[in-house]
Chain A
């Protein structure tokens, strides 16, 4: 049946193709290759996942009633806001400091370069948790902040504890650690820009700062943005370590405090996880659009536009236009 129907189709397709001039083969119709292994594996995975979900929904230890009770608790949503603030402040400081360190590392001055290297060495070489504990003890190490001429009586002496609260100590700890990583990302971005760009900018008489701000940094952004998005997501999760300071009004700290009161840790872990997942999902979507925006123009713009432009403008331009317009400017030159 099947064979005969394709047989009868053949002359029809050939006649429609013939106006193009000549013979044309009809599309191949073949029996698709079966992948039995794939189907079996997929079924096993789905079954295992379903089994886990059914079991989890009925298991007492997950405490779903408490999960429902605390997921929108005011203390939890307030803590979620604190976690967001920790992330935003820390990242903002880290980016500014990171750019500074990256520029310092690219400096010709060996001391400036060395100081930047030393910073990266210390802050990348020690765990962020340990650093946070250190920042928590800063008031023990430096009990007062003195302003004045060194080795003389200070003009103003402030008590460290009174000046900086634990929230800001957490921000300082997180941002100083993150700055070391941001510095490397920014440095990679700056180095990715063609040296010809700096040369062209310099040849036009632009200063180093103008070259950096107007030419180098905008182009480096394309390289800097995607890993920075990853760093933001990573930072959001790292904020759960601020208990080391100790700061306990973040998402994880607050859920742990509540769970120690109600003697039921597992549902509150799930509550915290659900909020973290929500935030990271939003950030991931944001990152997707940012990356799409910054890779624009480089990848797709070339082939489709170039072909059209070449043909319409080149012959038009060379012969007629310059010759005519230059006559006008000649007077001004001479």
Chain B
């Protein structure tokens, strides 16, 4: 907690992380590491705990057991002496600033234009001046290929365009880590490509990314490592080409035979 993060510290480190909702244990002792600049794809059947794991990383859920750190800093709790204290919401909000999140259903603010969606958090949370935030937002919109849509409301954009604005909105906070929760699952098939292209470019720029996805092609092409989860446990992980071409576990084989 007190150590200044160096490049050796993994961006995300989970050590025996468990999470339950009541008596329902959704995550069972998950251990994995995401290095700086790495792209990790989380795959698995629905209900396997992938999304919950992402939400834990972003303080949207609090883990019940194990240690979860982002950039060397403990998530959800504060360690003082040998005791853990629940994190104050203000502190959790501060830590979230550095983590961008993209949702399955975009969750753009419908009453704001694309530009307003992007400048909102930098202005309110980081206190950046409006003029500066607008310049940055326009850069980001151009980066996701929507420079001409700054004044469009989300309802006037296609699903793919909305998701690209959502990515730009997350990038506006200059995150060190980006979380993608099934970013293309709610899209029409012909719109998936444009969002994946933006994500590929983002990965190429060196962003650390954790992507929950069913797009095996994307995982094979972009991911540095692939984790297959089922029933709240990590069943298999490794190089995406190897795991996809030659799965070791029966459950992985069964799942891949359905999606590939």
A residues with a Cβ closer than 8 A to B are 194, 196-197, 199-208, 210, 214-215, 218-219, 297-298, 301-302, 305-306, 309-310, 313-314, 316-323, 325-326, 329-330, 333-334
Known: A326-B202, A333-B206. 20 other contacts (CB 8 A): A196-B103, A200-B101, A200-B166, A203-B96, A203-B101, A205-B173, A206-B120, A208-B89, A297-B155, A314-B191, A317-B161, A318-B145, A318-B194, A320-B145, A322-B144, A322-B145, A322-B198, A323-B197, A323-B201, A333-B205
Residues of A within 8 A of B157 (CB): 309
Let me know if A204 and B60 touch, CB within 8 A.
Answer: no
Task: List, sorted by A's number, 18 A–B pairs whose CB atoms are closer than 8 Å.
Answer: A196-B103, A197-B107, A199-B60, A207-B89, A218-B111, A297-B110, A302-B156, A306-B158, A309-B156, A313-B146, A314-B194, A317-B146, A317-B194, A318-B197, A319-B197, A321-B145, A330-B206, A334-B206
Residues of A within 8 A of B198 (CB): 322
Question: Distance (Å) between the CB of B205 and the closest chain A CB?
Answer: 5
Residues of B within 8 A of A320 (CB): 145
Residues of A within 8 A of B124 (CB): 206, 210, 214
Let me know if A204 and B120 touch, CB within 8 A.
Answer: yes
- Give the distance in Å from the alpha carbon of A50 to the alpha carbon of B156 in the complex: 52
The one of A200, A305, A306, A309 in contact with B109, judged by C-beta atoms closer than 8 angstroms, is: A200
Let me know if B60 and A329 touch, CB within 8 A.
Answer: no
Known contacts: A309-B161, A322-B198. The answer to whether A200 contacts B93 by CB under 8 A is no
B residues with a Cβ closer than 8 A to A are 58, 60, 89-90, 93-94, 96-97, 99-101, 103, 105, 107-111, 120-121, 124-125, 139, 142-149, 152-153, 155-158, 160-161, 164, 166, 169-170, 173, 191, 193-194, 197-198, 201-202, 204-207
Residues of A within 8 A of B144 (CB): 322
- Give the distance in Å from the alpha carbon of A317 to the alpha carbon of B148 in the complex: 10
The one of B107, B147, B193, B202 in contact with A200, judged by C-beta atoms closer than 8 angstroms, is: B107
Residue among B147, B158, B193 with the highest chain A CB neighbour number at 10 A = B158
Residues of A within 8 A of B156 (CB): 301-302, 305-306, 309
Known contacts: A199-B60, A322-B201. The answer to whether A313 contacts B173 by CB under 8 A is no
Known contacts: A196-B107, A321-B147, A333-B207. The answer to whether A206 contacts B201 by CB under 8 A is no
Closest 3 CB pairs of A and B: A317-B145, A200-B107, A321-B145
Let me know if B111 and A313 touch, CB within 8 A.
Answer: no
Let me know if A207 and B109 touch, CB within 8 A.
Answer: no
Residues of B within 8 A of A194 (CB): 107
Residues of A within 8 A of B108 (CB): 200
- Give the distance in Å from the alpha carbon of A201 to the alpha carbon of B111 in the complex: 13
- Give the distance in Å from the alpha carbon of A204 to the alpha carbon of B198 in the complex: 20
Question: Distance (Å) between the CB of A127 and the closest chain B CB?
Answer: 39
Let me know if B148 and A313 touch, CB within 8 A.
Answer: yes
